[in-house]
Structure 1
Amino acid sequence: MSRAPSASRRPLTTRRRVATVGVALVAATSLAACAQSQREAGGGEGGTFTFGAAGAPDGFDPFYASDGETFRVTRQITEGLVGFKPGSADVEPELAESWEHTPDGKSWTFKLRTGVKFHDGTDFNAEAVCKNFQRMFDQTGAGQNNALSYYWIENFGGFSDGKTPSLYQSCESPDPTTAVVHLTRASSKFPDILGLPSFSMQSPTAMEKYQANNVQAQGDSFVYPEYSRSHPTGTGPFKFVSYDEGNGTIKLARNEEYWGEKAKVNELIFRIIPDETVRKQELESGAIDGYDYPNAADLKALRDAGHNVQVRDPFNIMYLGITQKNNPALKDLRVRQALAYAVDRETLVKANLPEGASVATQFYPETVDGYASDVQKYPHDPAKAKQLLAEAGVPNLTVNFYWPTEVTRPYMPDPQGIYNALAEDLREVGITVNPVSKPWNGGYIDDVDNAKADLFLLGWTGDYNTPDNFIGTFFGTTENRFYTAGSPWGADLANQLKAADSEPDEAKRNQMYQDINRKLLSEYLPAIPLSHSPPAIVTNSKVEGLQTSPLTAEEFASVSVSGQ
């Protein structure tokens, strides 16, 4: 997910399966050893690929990032120990050729690729791996702010000061090609999380030289060090060249010393164009070669004009969030169920979402382990909604319904249209809706995170293929935007999620997640799952080789542009 905002396509139909932990040093070995990288040494073809980005990055150090537009750039520069198979959300080797773990799931041994160098010419090896982990773990001051170290905090927890427990314990490098990572407990999300851009490998030499950790808080924002602004240094197929902030242009160049197949183009340029209509115009004029998240209403016209419109496999969820902090009525399960019966999700999907979207019955796609086919369903039933409101003593319920402006999300292509449809459904069962609209980065997310909204529109694009990445992220603590701390079941739900994530036996873990999903829809209902939506990406007719990702995590090394 990026948290805030991602050729032929392979359907995402097979569930992720990780070998059961039971034999020492076995589990992930067969998966990793069989998944050989398709990257082989080769030359580039030349030319420039220019992509219209929807927003500007805060910096280029992926560890301090949580938004899709930053990751879109840094993904081309840095790589992780593991990556994701093209066209899927499943893990494959990247800088680590294979890995294995102990029966308790706490110690992971990674065998590293040889001959790999960072862009500054220094060696990628086990010592560099451990220095990267220690750098993340040793964050202090502003570096521990959730706005900066979001993905570390969400996935690993605390830091080396011990104030908060951490999943990470230590790293050792017995030889240059072997790195051993020790965890404090087993986790279903390991090693998948190592494919996230935030945990990619960066040059320890460059990070020290340009003071990568020297980020400073300044009011509600941060001042980034020289490393993040001008010297991001990874092992990827592209190298950072420059960022012209005034003109909104980021330039990368092909890494001629890349360990695998070299990028097809000499230069990769990102032009920052926040307005989707302007991005479309720039594509039509030939000023850019592609952009993301085209309006669903424009897809036919774009295709008719000869452009390549590729629709990704949906790996996301949009939900109607319910905050139980300010409106006492929303603490009543019957009221939350009434909201679920009130909304017409079938019509919403058909009228407001692109072709290929589907109604969601739970909080992640069916391709993720732990999906339960027998959860409680909430078909559109206005009469049932009115009955439940009457039984709860609030037949004339009033809610403050928040929706975001100045944004397009992969799961939410038309926030205003979606809000209008849902608000009308609620009004039809006698609910008074007070609309509150704010810019996405101009108060909306802050208000939602601070539990000011009664109802709100939000969602998630999966970062990797585990249940914890969805429902663990949403409800894994009681300090969340749904304010489950105010519910009698909030702490119990968080404990259930932690126990499931820590269960090393796959079959038992899947059963635990299925049980949680059933309770989420029948006993808890902290939000209402609405839909899964397939986001599109568009390029002009000269572009070839773009491999889409259900994670919206495209890598552009395979892209070529004809006629240059």
Structure 2
Amino acid sequence: MTLKRTAPLVLLTAAALSMTACAESQRDDSGGSGGGSADSNVKDTFTFGAAGAPELFDPLYATDGETFRVTRQIHSGLLGIKPGTADIQPELAESWEPSDDGLSWTFNLRQGVKFSDGTDFNAEAVCYNLDRMYNQKGAGQTAAEYWTYFFGTFSDDPENSLYKSCEAKDANTAVVDITRTTSSFPTILSLASFAIQSPKALEEGDANNVKAQGEGFTYPDYSMNPVGVGPYKLASYDEANKTVNLVANENWYGEAPKTKNLVFKIIPDESTRRQELQAGSIDGYDLPNPVDWKGLKDAGNNVEIRDAFNVLYIGLNPERNPKLKDLKVRQAIAYATNRDQMVKTQLPEGAAVASQFIPPAVSGYNESIQPYAYDPEKAKQLLQEAGAEGMTLKFAFPTEVSRPYMPDPQKIHAAFTKDLQAVGIKVQEVSKPWNGGYLDDVSANGAYDAWLLGWTGDYNAADNFLGTFFSSPKTNDFHTNVLPWGQQLSDDLKKADAIVDEDERATAYQDLNQQIVEKYLPAIPVSHSPPALVVSDKVEGLVPSPLTAETFDTVTVQK
């Protein structure tokens, strides 16, 4: 997950309840013992090749996946992610229950837990952390992007904040009040940004003292000296040698990590990561290029393919190109593009054509919807009926980037350009670097008629996909404000997200998914593509996460 996002930031404006889980955590309560294995054939270190350096170790201010990959080993949240899935499970909260109106949540906390500095985890620590996030000031508000994205605003603007208050009812019970019901709460508490940290360490490290510096920030001492409840703790960050070194947390409440030492070796170049894996200097790395999967497997490595939790789409801008206001034209583009062939030739094993804008793993997915078939003759007919024969599309793709849902944007764009030209649509090809203006051109500037983009979900809720895409008609990428149904779709999405009953909410989203692709079609859903990570054949115990939210305390490495 990362806020270097593929769609605009849309504040949570509506809502409904998520799981009212009362399940018990699967963690072992026997307590940590320092980590490591007594097996002499097992190494005491797991070395992972990271694509980038962590910016800091205070997850509240983090925005990128490489930072979260490290902080996820150090910190824990009230809720966790069930390994191998996108579903939430108990973590520091053993159970939770909403009030009848869904605005007050009672969290029953795990007992006997200590932070890595030896201080107690309890309800006061929970409220201290949530209030600390809510009370950010100045540059801290700007830096805390995930809080802004998911909770809206801070204590200086309470009317627009999802968070209201937290009360330590007793040492083991925290009551959190919110201002509106939402399907995103309490699920968002499983995100790495909202981990619970040691109040003592936060205070002593002046954790909130964030200052703006140019286009970035300077962070206080605490940001490089984290104290959490995770299975590991920070031993050192050697910037010169580009390594982050973690060691098993002896205060960890669960079963001790299988491997005592966890090292992140920072290797920005993907081909170099592959070479270092082959040389045995690292034990694994993330997002191997799909063209290398076979070679990596043939060399004896394990390519762990995650479940797809993303969607690639062709975005459309009817405000810039009025011909796109006609549903028949949008449908023609869907019929014209041979998405099945593209998936088979351009995407990795396990990818599938998308029928809607959420992947099958998300609650609210409608299994009855079929993807638009590849039918160029139907496309030509619709273009003729709409009087759009020979129309021109300014069709863009990003350069200098590879995404899990879009490993080679130029090749995908070329395939679809050929398809569009075959039905008489003229294509004006445009490209721009991903971090060199492409995202701004899509989101802020509305510079293209059509473009390639996608989204990887943060958690299992339809609103995280559909709400992000379409709930704000005046500011969304698809400019649905110029279409007669734009506001209606926005209102319906907000109503669906506010439904308390999970089954009822899922049904509402299933109906909306069908309307979106059959009645509205603001963009063309293309595919869902599984990302992968690769480890040597000596690595055991790694559980791939569709959210790329792996924890490494279960991993062992044979000598």
What CA distance in whole angstroms lies between the structure 2 residues aligned with 1:456 and 1:56? Answer: 30
Q: Which residue of 1 aligns with 2:498?
A: 502
The verdict on how the C-alpha distance between 1:190 and 1:141 changes in structure 2, with shifts beyond 3 A counting, is: same
Q: Does 1:44 align with 2:36?
A: yes
Number of residue-to-residue matches in the alignment: 540
Q: Which residue of 2 aligns with 1:223?
A: 218
Q: Residue deviations 1:401-424, cap 9 Å, x none?
A: 222233322222222222222222
Q: Does 1:316 align with 2:313?
A: no
What CA distance in whole angstroms lies between the structure 2 residues aligned with 1:38 and 1:350? Answer: 43
Q: Does 1:467 align with 2:457?
A: no
What CA distance in whole angstroms lies between the structure 1 residues aligned with 2:281 and 2:451? Answer: 37
3-state DSSP class of the match of 2:235? strand
Fraction of identical pairs, as percent: 58
Alignment of 1:201-212 (within 5 A): 201-212=196-207
3-state DSSP class of the match of 2:515? helix
What CA distance in whole angstroms lies between the structure 2 residues aligned with 1:233 and 1:292? Answer: 26
What CA distance in whole angstroms lies between the structure 2 residues aligned with 1:449 and 1:241? Answer: 41
Alignment of 1:115-514 (within 5 A): 115-145=112-142, 148-162=143-157, 165-228=160-223, 230-375=224-369, 377-450=371-444, 451-478=446-473, 479-514=475-510
The verdict on how the C-alpha distance between 1:390 and 1:59 changes in structure 2, with shifts beyond 3 A counting, is: farther
The verdict on how the C-alpha distance between 1:422 and 1:28 changes in structure 2, with shifts beyond 3 A counting, is: closer
Q: Which residue of 2 aligns with 1:553?
A: 549
Q: Does 1:529 align with 2:525?
A: yes
Q: Does 1:88 align with 2:88?
A: no
The verdict on how the C-alpha distance between 1:449 and 1:251 changes in structure 2, with shifts beyond 3 A counting, is: farther
The answer (yes or no) to whether the contact 1:339–1:385 under 8 Å persists in 2 is yes
The answer (yes or no) to whether the contact 2:116–2:250 under 8 Å persists in 1 is no
User: In angstroms, what is the RMSD of aligned CA positions?
Assistant: 2.3
In the TM superposition, residue 531 of structure 1 has moved relative to its aligned partner by 1.0
What CA distance in whole angstroms lies between the structure 1 residues aligned with 2:163 and 2:515? Answer: 30
The answer (yes or no) to whether the contact 2:23–2:89 under 8 Å persists in 1 is no
The answer (yes or no) to whether the contact 1:293–1:408 under 8 Å persists in 2 is no
What CA distance in whole angstroms lies between the structure 2 residues aligned with 1:321 and 1:496? Answer: 21
In the TM superposition, residue 477 of structure 1 has moved relative to its aligned partner by 2.0
The answer (yes or no) to whether the contact 1:50–1:288 under 8 Å persists in 2 is yes
In the TM superposition, residue 283 of structure 1 has moved relative to its aligned partner by 0.9
In the TM superposition, residue 195 of structure 1 has moved relative to its aligned partner by 0.7
Q: Which residue of 2 aligns with 1:11?
A: none
The answer (yes or no) to whether the contact 1:376–1:521 under 8 Å persists in 2 is no
What CA distance in whole angstroms lies between the structure 1 residues aligned with 2:68 and 2:59? Answer: 7
TM-score (norm: length of structure 2): 0.91
Give the letter aligned to residue 507 of structure 1.
D
3-state DSSP class of the match of 1:32? coil
Q: Does 1:540 align with 2:540?
A: no
In the TM superposition, residue 38 of structure 1 has moved relative to its aligned partner by 4.5
3-state DSSP class of the match of 1:140? coil
Q: Which runs of 5+ in 2 are unaligned?
A: 6-15, 38-42
The answer (yes or no) to whether the contact 1:154–1:473 under 8 Å persists in 2 is no
Q: Which residue of 2 aligns with 1:107?
A: 104
In the TM superposition, residue 40 of structure 1 has moved relative to its aligned partner by 4.1
3-state DSSP class of the match of 1:306? coil
Q: Which residue of 2 aligns with 1:9?
A: none
The answer (yes or no) to whether the contact 1:293–1:413 under 8 Å persists in 2 is no
The verdict on how the C-alpha distance between 1:264 and 1:105 changes in structure 2, with shifts beyond 3 A counting, is: same
What CA distance in whole angstroms lies between the structure 2 residues aligned with 1:245 and 1:445? Answer: 30
In the TM superposition, residue 247 of structure 1 has moved relative to its aligned partner by 4.1
TM-score (norm: length of structure 1): 0.90
The answer (yes or no) to whether the contact 1:32–1:92 under 8 Å persists in 2 is no
In the TM superposition, residue 35 of structure 1 has moved relative to its aligned partner by 4.7
